[in-house]
Amino acid sequence: MHFVFLLSVSMVFGAEKPNVLFIAIDDLNDWVGPLEGHPQVKTPNMDRLAAMGVTFTNAHCQSVLCNPSRTSLLTGVRPTTTGIYGLSPYYRKVPKLAGLKTIPELFRDQGYLTLGTGKIFHGSYALKAGGRDWDKVGPGATGAPFPKKKLVDTPAKHKLVDWGTFPHKDEDKGDYKIASWAVKRLEEMPEDKPFFLAAGIFLPHVPCYVTQKWMDMYPLETLKLPEVLENDRADTPRSSWWLHWKLPEPRLKFLKESNEWKNLVRSYLASITFADAQVGRILDALEESGHADNTIIVLWSDHGWHLGEKEITGKNTLWEPSTRVPLIFAGPGISKNATCAEAVELLDVFPTLCDLASLPKPDGLEGHTLIPQLRDVKTEREFPAISNHNPGNNSVRDERWRYILYMDGSEELYDMEKDPEEFENLAGRPEYEGEIQRLKKWIPEHQEPHAPNSSARILVYKDGRPIWEGKEIKPGDPIPEVEE
């Protein structure tokens, strides 16, 4: 059966190997036109890409933090299997993981010219020529240029937690240079071998700095804010707070009191539109290169971002704003202008690209190919999407439900059809116990502890009591508004 399937894929593409254009966008939630996450967002180039292929409207990340999410997608293995949960370590620094093959490494081994620029792995990890992944590399990711001082005086003084506009030029921005490098490579791409070109866009990751041109697209007087519920956390377990405690992103309370909520939402939307413009420049170059008809395009984000929902900003939660991400495939043999509502995972990207390019799959991949959905978007899947944030905290999302189980055994359940904002936690109601048990079975039984030298602050439970970095948290202890 496996041989017949690979043969059928090869027949779709013919003898010529397809190229791959691999576009990652950092911290991008569902505020893009194809996902309709915000009614005012302007993403004409992602809209254009969606018309070229299949948009997965119910796609979710494996981790709600950059390094573990990208490690999972690029190696095809879950964080609960690798133990990579924090912003470090780089997985190849962990001896038992060093042999895991990445997507670009596999394509390189199979005769592809591999080129990478911007944020693909977290930070500068592996972005170097002559290593295992890339034949050629371009500029790395950066939020530069920066103003002389922060524009917003946030409770945490972290340099990157900032937003707004100041005098600078689009051409000086890191993402513009990343797109320019990708454009140049497409212009001079050799004809004698297939290519795998990866471009990682930094915005809308904080700092959300854009020039005035992009801010003007979102006038303050007509700007729509996310729908939030006062005291929305009243029916959520205390464990839900610990997931993002001590993080530098401000709470909704600060945004309201400082009159910064609209400014942040506006800056985030403007950053998305600027990032979308860079995607457009790369798509234009692909069209002009003559390679478009034989190139698979995949666009994805590593995780989402809250902008006031559940009373917070940032990621690091197991709710929809953190886990739902754009995922679009386009290219030869892929349906056009289609959407698929089945729950899928970023983990599915690796096996799908292998099948689209008729390449052998490494052993141990934990995702599932999306080929059936790329051919017919109504094809059902039996697998839900599983997201994680540190051992013991997991979410299961299918077409209708989201179930969350925290490390202390506390739970949440949301009916995403009737309650897409996740306002009402249904866990604990006897009539929903069957749904909980059905979804709970998908959570990995074994979850690796943190890999050595993990940067994550570790919350553990001992005899039912939470311990934060060795100090017991007593009942009633306040959760600080913000701490670094």
* Separation between Cα atoms, residue 115 and residue 195, nearest integer Å: 8
Phi/psi-derived region of residue 199, left when phi > 0, alpha when psi is between -120 and 50, beta in every other case: beta
Based on the residue annotation, tell me whether 66 is a catalytic residue of this protein: yes
Place of tokens 């249904």: 426
Tell me the CA distances in angstroms from 354 to 17, 76, 367, one per residue in order: 11, 11, 12
Supply 244's token pair. 């993002």
Give me the catalytic one of 61, 66, 340, 354. 66
Q: Which two tokens stand for residue 337?
A: 């202008």
* Active-site option among 38, 60, 61, 122: 122
61 among known catalytic residues: no
Catalytic residue IDs: 66, 122
